[in-house]
Amino acid sequence: MARPPRAVFVTLLATALTTSLVSGARAVPGSVQTAQQAPVVLAPATAEGVAPTAAGVQKALAAVLADPSLGKHRGIYVYDASRNKPVFSVGASSTYIPASTLKLLTTVSALDTLGPDHTFATRTVSAAKGSLILVGGGDPLLVAKRPTDPTDFPARASLQDLAVSTAKALKAQGVSSITLGYDASLFTGPAINKNWEANYVPEGIAAPTSALWVNEGRITPGMAKRATSPPQAAATAFAAQLRAAGITVAPTLKPTVAPATAKPVAQVKSPTVGQIVEYVNLHSDNDGAEVLQRQVGLATKNGGSYAGGVAGVRATLTKLGLDVSKAKIFDGSGLTRANHVPLDLLAGAIRVAASPQHPELRHLLTGLPVAGFSGSLEDRFAAPGTSTGTGLVHAKTGTLTGVHSLAGLARDRTGTLLVFAVATDSVAVPQTLNARAALDRATAILANCGCQA
């Protein structure tokens, strides 16, 4: 059933909350600030609010945590970010299959290692006159054709723009006919994670991860089915764009490695890492997360394989002060059930990103889906007892069969900023919707209680 349109003031409330989450912190490097302010919609939240107590949180959550739809293995961890201390937990000594909440660990690591303003370049180079190589730089959001919708976010790089720039440069050199090779060697190791289910790639749940692809390896934009070789498909699409730009391209396209001495011809740049992180978490983009994980592996000098990416993520989280000793991480997206993560680690990624010491990590927060409004939470918080979380809960979702989780934050009604992770990985399939609603109720309760005993 379609949800009714929200009132304008509620939309403004959600926007104001996102802004207030990091009030008092330094600005993100490179951000634009202005002295002009919007009219006051609501009185600002107090700096810290009232301190919640363990007994108060336990009392508020008791009924929902006893909901049998959550199965036997369920837990919650609540942290008072206004006072930098844990408040309450149940089942937090255990680890859980995180599903897509694992993306928080991947994306916070990407922000830390690469920086929010970093971009990835897709290039053309020439090793000899009449010889052109398309070089992938690991842009997860590269598309074949220039986007026509100006409201799409983020603005993506396209092979069409690269072909136009390349054709112009070639013609200036007096070249109108070329051979074309393609280089996807930035990433190494298996393109398909051995821990994934066998049906993931054939059914289009994920693509073979590549440093060179378009439309995340999809054969048709917006459709699930992926190319067997995303780099070759990208090169084929690029050849067609070059021909449309007036360059004759030999029919045979071959994989190669561009020599270091090759001369640059043209390039297009991806959105910033901060924008990519927002997109990945808002839409729970599995493919984007897998690319970012490999970029973390490269940035930490662990290599561009998925194993190198895992090593890079673990090292980065440790550097950020998070305990990964209990965590078992095998991919960047959370697709594999082999992943097992403690709740305090999932909440820890949010906690670190909200801290005044790490303004460079803020995109982790601004990209979180908003309850009832955006991304993977757009159609959530509609069940009885959940609507009080609408616009107030900001959280990353995690969903696999039998597995449901939320990790994020909310200011409670007194102004205290609460960070949480709540999960279950033992839900009977017939209880799926009830379990999701129970997690929504739990977080809505946190957003609306003072939680004093």
Q: For the CA atoms of 294, 224, 156, 162, what is the dihedral angle to 10 degrees?
A: 90
User: Is 219 buried (19+), middle (13-18) or exposed (0-12) by CB count in 10 A?
Assistant: middle
CATH label of the domain that carries residue 66:
3.40.710.10
Torsion angles phi and psi, residue 395, rounded to 5: -155, 150
**Domain match, 255 and 382 both:** no
pLDDT tens across 331-366, in order?
999 999 999 999 999 999 999 999 999 999 999 999
**Domain match, 155 and 180 both:** yes
**What was the pLDDT predicted at 220?**
86
**Domain match, 216 and 339 both:** no
**Domain match, 240 and 387 both:** no
**Domain match, 314 and 443 both:** yes
Q: How many CB atoms lie under 10 A from the CB of residue 203?
A: 12
User: What distance in Å separates the CA atoms of residue 337 and residue 100, rounded to the nearest whole number?
Assistant: 11
**Domain match, 219 and 292 both:** no
CB 247 within 8 A of CB 266: no
**Domain match, 313 and 407 both:** yes
**What was the pLDDT predicted at 202?**
92
User: Half-sphere exposure of residue 291, counting CA atoms within 13 Å on the CB side?
Assistant: 31
* 3-state SS track over 86-123: EEEEECCCCEECCHHHHHHHHHHHHHHHHCCCCCCEEE
Q: Which domain holds residue 194?
A: 121-271
Tokens of 74: 């369920």
**Domain match, 128 and 256 both:** yes
Cis peptide preceding 154, ω within 30 of 0: yes
**What was the pLDDT predicted at 40?**
52
User: What distance in Å separates the CA atoms of residue 281 and residue 101, rounded to the nearest whole number?
Assistant: 9
Q: How many CB atoms lie under 10 A from the CB of residue 415?
A: 16
**Domain match, 79 and 130 both:** no
**What was the pLDDT predicted at 446?**
95
For the chain, the domain total comes to: 2
Tokens of 425: 């990985």
CB 398 within 8 A of CB 406: yes
Q: Kindly state the helix (H) or strand (E) to which residue 132 belongs, with its residue range.
A: strand 131-135
Residue spans of the chain under pLDDT 50: 1-20, 22-35, 38, 42, 45-46
pTM, two decimals, is 0.89
**What was the pLDDT predicted at 222?**
78
Query: Looking at beta carbons, which pairs linking 17-20 to residues 24 or more positions away fall under 8 Å?
Result: 17/391, 17/392, 17/394, 17/410, 17/411, 18/365, 18/366, 18/370, 18/394, 20/44, 20/45, 20/411
**Domain match, 127 and 256 both:** yes
pLDDT tens across 282-311, in order?
999 999 999 999 999 999 999 999 999 999
**Domain match, 283 and 424 both:** yes
Flag whether 318 is in a domain. Answer: yes
Cα separation of the two ends of the chain: 38
